[in-house]
Structure 1
Amino acid sequence: MRVPGDPVPGRPAGADHAGRARRLFGGRTGAVGDLARSPYRVDRDRIISSPFFARLGGVTQVISPGGSGLLVHNRLTHSLKVAQVGRAIAERLTADDRYADLLDALGGCDPDVVEAAALAHDLGHPPFGHLGEQVLDRVARRRLGLPDGFEGNAQSYRIVTSTEIRGTATIGLDLTAAVRAAILKYPWTRLDHPDPHPRSFDPPPRGAAVPADDPESGSAKFSAYRTEVDDLRQAREPFAGRIADWQQTVEASVMDIADDIAYAIHDVEDFHRVGVLQQGAVAGELLGWQRDAAQLGGLTDAGLTDGRRRPGSAIERLRRQLRRKDAWVYDEDAFAAAVEHVRAELVDGLLAAPFDGSIEAEQYVAGFSARWTRRLVDTISVVEKPPARSGHVLLDVAQWHEVQVLKLVHHRFVLARPDLALHQRGQARLLDTLVEALFAWVLDPEENGRLPQRLRDLVELAETELHPRTADRAVKARARATVDFVAALTDGQAVALMDALSGRSGQLWTDAFVL
């Protein structure tokens, strides 16, 4: 039985190279500032020349750059590492004769495309990272009345197709179809594209499921707002009939896996450097599960939750979650082996001595990262018919489980910390108040002429995107413009702007933000 959106049988192999290289606005080439000859290198150069890319140096990866110094990654250094890993994966796959025909049939895998997409994939992340994403989505949907809300991946796509400025028009970066398609990690809108929508599949693709506490809101993750759906369709045209219309392109799949690898490894590295990951606590959790796996496995879910402080309970909850959601890849033996491998590498290795900033400590961290990255990259393969919750490019079973355990260490011993929660609650209140204050300013007819110019430009752009007969068109446009404006701030700019709007700042002229 053919799943809706499956490739059309009989489609001839061979990538649509002209279509892949086509730009959104009529195939213009040789724009002022373009130096490279390859259209995909041009895209890469346009992305790294964008102010949206530069601002990522001031945006949270996990801990705000303003509160952690140079020891932890920000969104810029994260994006650079994703690009490095993604390009390495693409080069390995394209050099492997086993995959040549399959990659061609699926639409191609160009290392330049992967690198460009990796550099662009986080352009839309707002101040304070994933926390800011959650706050902006809640405010946009529930208070500003925007059905699409806010999503960092969709905002990245909006930036490269709409809100970035080139020349005299808001035409985005005018990237090629291949690169835009590779940015689409979740190639659907929140509610209605494609039809049938992947959230209705059983099981749904990763990210397409609806949140359990808000089933009417649509997919939890998506890569385009309704305003950019025509751009999405045009970017995906060269891949029609080659891959399912809800499935990532090969290049998007490579970028997605590179993102996972970089995230899993450099977050462990970061929090070892700042002393957050303690050997005793990590050892207790991993060894606790290895010692008491049978007893923990016999507990009900409620009993496991009640005993969440018991060593090993977090690992057991992860095991159950993977078995439930990812039965296509989950394996009991592979999971146990992954726990042991991570234990050996972390408890007996990286965390055995505190990070003291010495050359020896730096070399050990570098070796840990290099060893893990190579281990993961070297096991990646391409499959013709992937399961719904995977792309065409995937990790080997053993390494997939290891990545999940590494992520668990990060969630259990960093994200669940009360001190981080205290910090984030303050950031959430700040963003919430900032959006409210700016939206009130945008709606104030007496102050309209004194709006920041960038905000006025975004209002005009949003008005052109909405259908003239849309109810509350002016209000909806101002709401979207406010969200776009706040999302484009760095962490420091958001704090400085809120200080000014609340009257706490006594500095009239400042370079903290440009009005």
Structure 2
Amino acid sequence: MTGSPARDHAADAPAATDPRVARSVPEGLDEFQLVEYRPEYRVDLERIRFSPYFSRLSAVTQVISQSGAGLAVHNRLTHSVKVTAVARAIAVSLAGDWGERGALVRDLGGCDAVVVQAAASAHDLGHPPFGHLGEQTLDRLARERFGLEEGFEGNAQTFRILTRLDEYDRAGTGLNLTAAVRAAVLKYPWLRVEGDGWSPGPYTPRGLAPRRPGEGARKFSAYTLDLDDMEASRAAFPAIEPLQQTVECSVMDIADDIAYSLHDLDDFYRADLLNQAAVSAEFRTWIRDRAALARIPREDLVRARRTPGHGLELLRRRMVSHDPWIAGDDAFGESVARVADEVVDGLLSVPYDGSLAADRTLAVFMAGWIARLQHSIQVTRDPDVRSGHVSLDAAAFHDVAVLKFLQERFVLHRPDLAVYQRGQASVIERLVTSFAAWLDDDDEVRRAPRRLLDLVELAAEDYLKVRDTRPELLPTTDAATLRRYATGRGIIDYVASLTDAQAMSVANLVSGASERLWDGGQGL
């Protein structure tokens, strides 16, 4: 990969004894390998940050696009940078704790700040164009058009990029990262099929239950094609249970929650998308009528979910039902009151006007909340199945949930945003349909984008490897069917690697809607 940092010490050395620093393919080891400082992890961090997949995140939507709401909003790159900052602060605190908490962290495999930085930098690499909307569309098309039962999932795509699609200096080994960093991106360490038989509730790990029966896990971190690498990464952490995150992964996951809950609030406030009166009515109604709302049957709440107070009451019930290990009525009420006072009647009560004073007020507000949340960390040896070894305390846990609700209820469910997103979904569909037809054209297939053809061949190699080594994991071993699966997976991998602008431009090109020959086709 052009521009990537090279290793300072290439001399051969004895194999490392620490499984955390083991790579998929052994390399020459640094002479300082055996001291506490781990240059291996710094190499991993730099490989990720020099990756074109990382640079691409600057042009991928977080929630609302910059073209639709101005340059102030976050994209996936700025989000990842801020997740990295929050994650590093938490990791440094844990690694420097020489009390009981720190001893427990070390027993569980440790918490290296550079590993956490690398995982945080990489955690969104698998996000396709147009954010979660693109993810849902690609998942549907993968399953319905190509018969790929695992569909598409952003977390699994991230792992596939790191271990297979992106390349540093060796074909077929991805970025060849250490086991610690690979394990730290596995937020949902299972396959999609492992979700069958689970149902939503207090005894099911987050993300494992299917959205609909028979669809497999809602969230998962590896496709079957990449299972061997997931298992090898996890093997370096024998103290971690099969369905649990490593400590470093939990820190990254918490930092992602903190950044998402606050930085999207920053965006929506700047873009004037949060109607203070409507938000205040929701919060103040629930606070005033919480006893009466608690007596309303759930179906009535759902039917009138837009009525002030109903949305928060549904959130309270879901949290208490699904997460009794930490969620409770008193803590929920305190969090609603805190967000109402500091966010709704505090920050949102003064419209953002773009002034320097407004920027200072917003910066101080965000810094205060981030500092409080990232210091609300607890470590547990035997966590609940819905938690990690590292988690937020009860107050912070509720705060993050209420902040996410505010954004979901008053921005993500807006009809005008839904219209815009339906148009984006049609762009993804045009791309997938056009590339599938192109690869089916024997006369024209050789003129398809080189990277697309390469990704199809990589997927074909992967399917054949699984067929030869673990055929029980595949729905069929028929060669023609596996080739069709590989074509589908290669197309999905390719479309997922585009930026928002590239997706729009290429969709216009392949559908004949653009007359500009060189409109966005460079490097495809």
TM-score normalised by the shorter chain: which range applies? Answer: over 0.9
1:479 aligns with 2:477: no
Partner of 2:472: none
1:428 aligns with 2:429: no
Partner of 1:20: 20
Residues 497 and 513, structure 1, Cα contact 8 Å, conserved in 2? no
Alignment of 1:168-183 (within 5 A): 169-183=171-185
**Per-residue displacement from partner, 1:324-376 (whole Å, max 9, x unpaired)?**
11111111111000000000111221112111111110011101110000111
Counterparts of 1:200 and 1:414, CA distance in 2: 25
Task: Compute the displacement of 1:308 (Å).
Answer: 2.0
Residues 198 and 246, structure 1, Cα contact 8 Å, conserved in 2? no
Task: Compute the displacement of 1:494 (Å).
Answer: 0.4
Partner of 1:131: 133
Counterparts of 2:486 and 2:42, CA distance in 1: 34
**Per-residue displacement from partner, 1:212-246 (whole Å, max 9, x unpaired)?**
xx311110000000011000011111112x01011
Task: Compute the displacement of 1:166 (Å).
Answer: 2.1
**Per-residue displacement from partner, 1:99-128 (whole Å, max 9, x unpaired)?**
222111111110100010000000000001
Partner of 2:234: 236
**Per-residue displacement from partner, 1:123-151 (whole Å, max 9, x unpaired)?**
00000111111110111012211111100
Task: Compute the displacement of 1:307 (Å).
Answer: 2.2
Q: 1:188 aligns with which of 180, 187, 190?
A: 190
Residues 64 and 74, structure 1, Cα contact 8 Å, conserved in 2? yes
Q: Which amino acid aligns with 1:220?
A: R
1:210 aligns with 2:210: yes
What TM-score do the two structures reach when normalised by structure 2? Answer: 0.90
Task: Compute the displacement of 1:466 (Å).
Answer: 1.0
Task: Compute the displacement of 1:381 (Å).
Answer: 1.3
Counterparts of 1:92 and 1:248, CA distance in 2: 19
Task: Compute the displacement of 1:473 (Å).
Answer: 2.0
Q: Report the CA distance shift for 1:164/1:28 in structure 2 as closer, same or farther (over 3 A).
A: farther
1:346 aligns with 2:343: yes
Q: Report the CA distance shift for 1:28/1:427 in structure 2 as closer, same or farther (over 3 A).
A: farther
Give the gaps of 5 or more residues in structure 1: 1-15, 31-35
Q: Which amino acid aligns with 1:26?
A: P
Counterparts of 1:101 and 1:180, CA distance in 2: 23
**Per-residue displacement from partner, 1:267-310 (whole Å, max 9, x unpaired)?**
11110001001221111110010111122111101111222232
Q: 1:500 aligns with which of 486, 493, 509?
A: 509
Q: Report the CA distance shift for 1:199/1:23 in structure 2 as closer, same or farther (over 3 A).
A: farther
Counterparts of 1:470 and 1:104, CA distance in 2: 47
Task: Compute the displacement of 1:95 (Å).
Answer: 1.6
Give the gaps of 5 or more residues in structure 2: 1-15, 31-36, 468-476
Partner of 1:10: none
What SS does the corresponding residue of 1:191 show, helix, strand or coil? helix
What SS does the corresponding residue of 1:175 show, helix, strand or coil? coil
Partner of 2:48: 47
What SS does the corresponding residue of 1:504 show, helix, strand or coil? coil
Counterparts of 1:312 and 1:199, CA distance in 2: 28
Identity fraction in percent: 50
1:227 aligns with 2:225: yes
Task: Compute the displacement of 1:407 (Å).
Answer: 0.5
Task: Compute the displacement of 1:29 (Å).
Answer: 4.6
Structure 1 ranges of 4+ moved more than 6 A: 196-202
Residues 382 and 394, structure 1, Cα contact 8 Å, conserved in 2? yes
Q: Which amino acid aligns with 1:334?
A: A
Task: Compute the displacement of 1:440 (Å).
Answer: 1.2
Q: Which amino acid aligns with 2:426?
A: R
Counterparts of 2:434 and 2:517, CA distance in 1: 18
Partner of 1:461: 458
Counterparts of 2:230 and 2:453, CA distance in 1: 26
1:442 aligns with 2:439: yes
Counterparts of 1:260 and 1:324, CA distance in 2: 21
Counterparts of 1:312 and 1:37, CA distance in 2: 51
Residues 202 and 323, structure 2, Cα contact 8 Å, conserved in 1? no
Partner of 1:488: 497
Residues 93 and 381, structure 1, Cα contact 8 Å, conserved in 2? no
Counterparts of 2:166 and 2:204, CA distance in 1: 32
Partner of 1:73: 74
Partner of 2:306: 309
Partner of 1:9: none
Q: Which amino acid aligns with 1:42?
A: V
Residues 509 and 519, structure 2, Cα contact 8 Å, conserved in 1? no
What SS does the corresponding residue of 2:340 show, helix, strand or coil? helix
Task: Compute the displacement of 1:511 (Å).
Answer: 4.1
Greater relative contact order, per chain length (Cα 8 Å cut-off, separation 6+): 1
Partner of 1:5: none
What SS does the corresponding residue of 1:465 show, helix, strand or coil? helix
Partner of 2:97: 96
Partner of 1:156: 158
Partner of 1:282: 279
Task: Compute the displacement of 1:476 (Å).
Answer: 1.1
Q: Which amino acid aligns with 1:329?
A: I
What SS does the corresponding residue of 1:394 show, helix, strand or coil? strand
Residues 284 and 312, structure 1, Cα contact 8 Å, conserved in 2? yes
